[in-house]
Amino acid sequence: MISGCTRRDALGFLAAASAAIALDRPASAAGFDWKRYNGTELHFMVSVHPWTAWAQKQLSALAAETGIKINWEILYEDQLRQKLPLLLRSDPGAVDGFFTLPSWDMAAFSRAGWYEPLDKYIHSDHTAPGWDFADFFPNILKTHQVKGEQIGIPITIELQTLFYNKTILAAKQLAVPKTLTELMAAAKALNDPKGNVAGYVTRGDGVQAVYTLAPFIFAYGARWLDDKGQPELASPGFVDGLRYYGEILRAAGPPNIVGMQWKTTYPLFQQAHAAMFTDATNFIAFFKDPTQSRIVDTVGVAPLPAGPAGSHSTLISWGPAIAASSKKKDATWLAIQYLTSKAMTIAALEATHMPPSRQSVYNSDVYAKSVPADLVAATKAEIGAAVPNGANPVVVPVPEVRSAIGTAIVSVLQGNDARQAAETAQQEVVKILKG
């Protein structure tokens, strides 16, 4: 996971979509009173993000059509994580809605009781008939569920995919890898230290690499936590995934891979100094930008190669939630409906070019014209089997746990034994969770 505005603010997709779909604006739903909370004032706390910047520009229209005025407080992600919990604890009612990333927030926020359960609003006359909850991808909805209860509305999709340089693979007459065995063989064949081209690259910084390690452990049938929420980091599948991650980057990665963050890995691929790259789908923005990329016409996208247990990307999504302590929950839900309707999802896509969580919009010409066709195909192939909130263990002390797992990643990148590294991580995370 990447915090702050630097990546998420930049990682909208490039090509603008000018087409529109003939859908009514939210307030035109027949028989639904969008003005029922006229005169209400709300306070939302959100992080810097392309969607929140877009949403802020919709607030005057929201006020005109619903009569609700919103104080839209935008903070950097780290600042939000400090200020929001403080207000939710010390000043009940001060916050009505907030932006949440459940892979980080869910364990702590649900334990504290800060999420208002949404099912009672969604499946009632509080929801406009045309809002259409069933339109959201089911697996993406799971990213905002606690024990099956909806606690937020996901607004975009972030998966991981395989990016590859078509020209470099063609020069070696290599097909796009579909399995981890093929990926390893291709990475070694394409690795060319003398030509300053790595066969494969992804993150080597321990804490950041937890995110990119995840699909590899999933591909070997492992998981972060067991059914009781306890760490499962020494399982055979985890060890195999960790070992593979270390082996492929030692064999075919850049020579200085240890400590490399996403800020230093993606430019290698972008400048044709790496043949293949796995990371978040949103990086396509950098690769398709003609002002900075050397691979605009040669970048290809494919589903993540499968391991013994298949191909399983991580799946994360930001989205708005209602504060359980809010005294204006119904009005807050109305505002969230407005901003996440089909019509507004189309408008957000046209402004941000980020992949939408609604199936109707994702499958529309608007989205098809916004991103490369192979990216659409790859993400469609991945969504159903992706692991909701799989970017890291969903626990309360996320930073500490990521650090412990990151130490294991660095260890295998340095050539140490994967089993020993995994067992040490398991012991450390058990200690952390026990407090």
Domain stops at, among 388, 409, 425: 388
Which residues, 6+ apart, have CB-to-CB distance to 363 below 8 Å?
A: none
User: Block means of pLDDT (10 residues each) for the chain, length 435 residues?
Assistant: 42 37 45 95 95 96 98 94 95 96 95 97 95 96 96 96 98 98 98 97 96 98 96 98 98 96 95 97 89 96 98 97 98 98 94 91 92 92 96 96 98 98 98 93
The token duo for 61 is 């229209």
Judge residue 356's burial from the number of C-beta atoms within 10 Å of its C-beta, 0-12 exposed, 13-18 middle, 19 or more buried.
buried
The token duo for 5 is 């505005």
* Res 130: pLDDT: 94
Dist CA 153 CA 99 (whole Å):
10
Could you tell me the pTM of the whole model? 0.87
Same domain for 320 and 307:
no
Q: Is 48 helix (H, G, I), strand (E, B) or coil?
A: coil
* Res 35: pLDDT: 96
Same domain for 269 and 356:
no
Residue 244: give the domain boundaries.
160-312+397-434
Same domain for 58 and 134:
yes
* Res 8: pLDDT: 46
The token duo for 84 is 């929001």
> What CATH number does residue 41 fall under?
3.40.190.10
Same domain for 194 and 126:
no
Please tell me the total count of domains within the chain.
2
CB atoms within 10 A of CB 59: 18
Residue with tokens 């799971």, as numbered in its chain: 142
* Res 353: pLDDT: 80
